[in-house]
Amino acid sequence: MLAVLFNSALQPLNRQRRKTKSHLGVQVGVDRITDSIEQVLEEAGITKHQLAGIGMGCPGLLDLNKGILLEASNLGWKNAPLKDTLQSHFNCPTIIANDVDAGVFGEYCQGAAQNARCVLGIFPGTGIGGGCVYDGKILHGSNRSCFEIGHIRVQENGLKCSCGQYGCLETVASRLAIAAEAAQLAHRGQAPSLMELAGTDLSKIKSGMLARSIKKGDTAVRELVCHAARHIGVAIGSMIHLLNPEVIVLGGGLVEAMPELILPEARTAANHFILPSFRNTFKIVSAQLGDDATASGAAAWAQKALGKHASSISPQNFSTTNTTSQT
């Protein structure tokens, strides 16, 4: 969980990071969000009355009109009333967005996809989030966030996903799916370096640990990551046929740890599975903003969405919160 305070020029003034403890439930989680914003304001010497607005990026499916987090499978949260809670507590307008939507918007505004007309973002982590910015706006439905690319079905007889369906992209290409397979490799003696570094404990097999095991010679883990990247590339190919984006941004801890491995595999697979006329019309790049992508994107989106209402408040400060599960 990351809370950042921005001024009207979207320059960060202060930040507060805390662990997201999903097992404690929705109410405790929302209270921690509120506490984090209060702390970041207090440390910066800013009062609630000086806030122009709050932007929040959160994982899962959202009711954008009501400001409710409907379901976040990886956090175990359902029907969290984020917008009303934050607006009531801080007495300022609040905008919520899917965390990857906000991250892609951040990359569009200040990162790897500036000035592109259509930007597709895919962020593998505990799950796989997707987002799209088209003509300067986050693409979403009439009242729901969308672009749940992690739940596109890629295997007919695949594993069960956290969403309850089978064969989703997340089941083969998320960091959690890769870690589970890697743990089995370590157990079978096919990933000795990973066994030495982390054993078979999933809580220890994070993105950086996978990258270290590959550098130390675990070719089976390398192939596992490449296999996942190819699945992501296939999904990208489908999105190219639908949207023809100029830029596809890959982000998240897994990509940050192994861009030199994941990006080429994804590019090759995407180009292989698209019509020839679409080849060489796009580029696949790494996210540039890291953890700040969602925070800065949520602030920028809040500023854009609030418009004149925000500009009437002086001084202008935007608090933004990014709530995700650990990756």
Over residues 253-260, mean pLDDT: 94
In a domain, 111, yes or no: no
Residue-level pLDDT at 325: 42
Q: Which pLDDT band, with edges at 50, 70 and 90, does 321 fall under?
A: low
Instruction: Check whether residue 132 and residue 264 sit in a common domain.
Output: yes
- Rounded CA-CA distance 104/89 in Å is 28
Instruction: Check whether residue 308 and residue 279 sit in a common domain.
Output: no
Q: Which helix (H) or strand (E) holds 261?
A: helix 259-272
Instruction: Check whether residue 135 and residue 26 sit in a common domain.
Output: no
Instruction: Check whether residue 243 and residue 294 sit in a common domain.
Output: no
In a domain, 109, yes or no: no
Domain range enclosing 6: 2-103+290-322
pLDDT above 90: residue 219: yes
Instruction: Check whether residue 71 and residue 160 sit in a common domain.
Output: no
Q: Could you give the percent of the chain with pLDDT greater than 90?
A: 68
Residue-level pLDDT at 315: 37
In a domain, 179, yes or no: yes
In the 8-state DSSP scheme, what is residue 172? H
pLDDT above 80: residue 160: yes
Taking only the tens place, the pLDDT of each residue in 79-124 is 999 999 999 999 999 999 999 999 999 999 999 999 999 999 999 9
* Number of separate domains in the chain: 2
- Which of 67-76, 253-262, 297-306 has the weakest average pLDDT? 67-76
pLDDT above 90: residue 327: no
Q: Which pLDDT band, with edges at 50, 70 and 90, does 323 fall under?
A: low
In a domain, 273, yes or no: yes
Instruction: Check whether residue 201 and residue 250 sit in a common domain.
Output: yes
pLDDT above 70: residue 174: yes
In a domain, 245, yes or no: yes
**Average model confidence (pLDDT) for the chain?**
89
Contacts by residues 200-209 (CB-CB < 8 Å, ≥ 24 positions apart) = 202/176, 205/179, 206/175, 206/179, 206/253, 206/327, 207/175, 207/253, 207/254, 207/256, 207/257, 207/258, 207/327, 208/253, 208/257
- Rounded CA-CA distance 234/239 in Å is 9
In a domain, 37, yes or no: yes
Instruction: Check whether residue 45 and residue 63 sit in a common domain.
Output: yes
- Comparison of pLDDT for 28 and 212, the residue scoring more: 212
Instruction: Check whether residue 43 and residue 126 sit in a common domain.
Output: no
Residue type, 8: S
Residues β-bridged to residue 123: 129
Instruction: Check whether residue 302 and residue 222 sit in a common domain.
Output: no
In a domain, 298, yes or no: yes
Q: Which pLDDT band, with edges at 50, 70 and 90, does 22 fall under?
A: low
Alpha-carbon dihedral 181, 187, 189, 192, rounded to 10 degrees = 80
Q: Which pLDDT band, with edges at 50, 70 and 90, does 72 fall under?
A: confident
Taking only the tens place, the pLDDT of each residue in 285-315 is 999 998 789 999 999 999 998 874 443 233 3
Residue-level pLDDT at 306: 83
Q: Which pLDDT band, with edges at 50, 70 and 90, does 318 fall under?
A: low
Look at residues 257, 251, 229 and name the one whose alpha carbon lies nearest to residue 154.
229
Residue-level pLDDT at 309: 42
pLDDT above 70: residue 69: yes
Over residues 164-173, mean pLDDT: 94
- Rounded CA-CA distance 27/3 in Å is 18
Instruction: Check whether residue 85 and residue 131 sit in a common domain.
Output: no
Instruction: Check whether residue 302 and residue 195 sit in a common domain.
Output: no
Residue-level pLDDT at 126: 86
Instruction: Check whether residue 12 and residue 158 sit in a common domain.
Output: no
For the chain, the C-alpha Rg in angstroms (whole number) is: 20
Q: Which pLDDT band, with edges at 50, 70 and 90, does 29 fall under?
A: confident
pLDDT above 90: residue 24: no
Over residues 14-38, mean pLDDT: 81
CATH number of the domain encompassing residue 279: 3.30.420.40
146-184 burial, b at 16+ Cβ within 10 Å, e below that, comes to bbbbbbbebeeebeebbbeeebbbbbbbbbbbbbebbbe
Q: Which pLDDT band, with edges at 50, 70 and 90, does 258 fall under?
A: very high
